Amino acid sequence: MDVRGKTVVVAGGAGSLGSVLVASLNERGARVASLDMRYSREFAPEVMAIQTDIADDAAVAAALRAIAADRGPIAALVNCAGLIHSEPLVSLTDPSQRRHRLATWEATIRANLTATFVLGAHVAELMASTRTKGVIISFSSIAAHGNPGQTAYAAAKAGIEAMTTVWARELGPLGIRAVAIAPGFVATDSTRSAMSESSLSDLKRRTPLLRLAKPEEIASAVAFAIENDFVTGTTIAVDGGLVL
């Protein structure tokens, strides 16, 4: 798919990584719309920005209607919205909190897996109803393979990879592709706030390339997934060779 002149929705566009994706797609000539719960980034004047909760069914429907009315049929969705959360299943050192909290489990699943389902389902319906051949890109993570201390986050990301496979098989006959991007650890504010410096240093040491990913390298993988019309039903790992 040539994105020039095509409407592309980026969920999580106000985040550290999302803002790079928005800028990259805008530079490629896409008609970009950002969905996010925050207005924390400056966008180019031509980028449409809507503040919304992408796990809220009614809010998503309204936001997508506004985008389609302003920009035309949606040809691509890039959903990089999410919440990184670390919490052990059982803690023997904290008597006040022995088990993983149900509240943080539910919040993490909602922000990652439920939000991906809600937004993806709405966009797929719009594409199908307008007979638009497009692509739905969802963000997984290297944690989907099982990162100790991230029960909820890993479960959500593994679920996203499973949904991607299902969507590719269901939607392929309609000309709609589904791809997941699974970054390793990316040099963003959210990564730094979720992990200690010692943990990050250890990850760099264990990564064959001895560093974190640059946001621009994730944007390059997204561009590939959009542009190659024979890529579907797969997860593209961008992890520097790291094995958890």
CATH number, domain containing residue 161: 3.40.50.720
Query: Which residues, in sequence order, are CB contacts of 184 under 8 Å at separation 6+?
Result: 142, 207, 212, 213, 237, 238, 239, 240, 242
Tell whether the model's pLDDT for residue 199 goes beyond 90.
no
Residue 41 lies in a domain: yes
Residue 143 lies in a domain: yes
**Is 39 part of the annotated catalytic residue set?**
no
Q: Which residue has the tokens 């589904």?
A: 178
Residue 206 lies in a domain: yes
Beta bridge partners of 237: 182
- Number of structural domains (the chain) is 1
Residue 241 lies in a domain: no
Query: Could you give the percent of the chain with pLDDT greater than 90?
Result: 88
Residue 158 lies in a domain: yes
Residue 40 confidence (pLDDT) = 54
Comparing C-alpha atoms, which of 241, 160, 231 is closest to residue 203?
A: 241
Q: Which residue has the tokens 């035309």?
A: 72
Q: Which residue has the tokens 């719309």?
A: 33
Domain hosting residue 115, numbered range: 7-236
Residue 42 confidence (pLDDT) = 76
Tell whether the model's pLDDT for residue 194 goes beyond 80.
no
- Cα 76 to Cα 17: distance, rounded to the nearest angstrom: 17
Residue 1 lies in a domain: no
From the list 153, 154, 155, 168, the catalytic residue is 153
pLDDT tens string 73-91: 999 999 999 999 999 999 9
Comparing C-alpha atoms, which of 149, 36, 41, 143 is closest to residue 90?
A: 149
Alpha helices in the chain (DSSP H): 16-27, 57-71, 102-109, 115-129, 151-171, 189-194, 197-206, 215-227
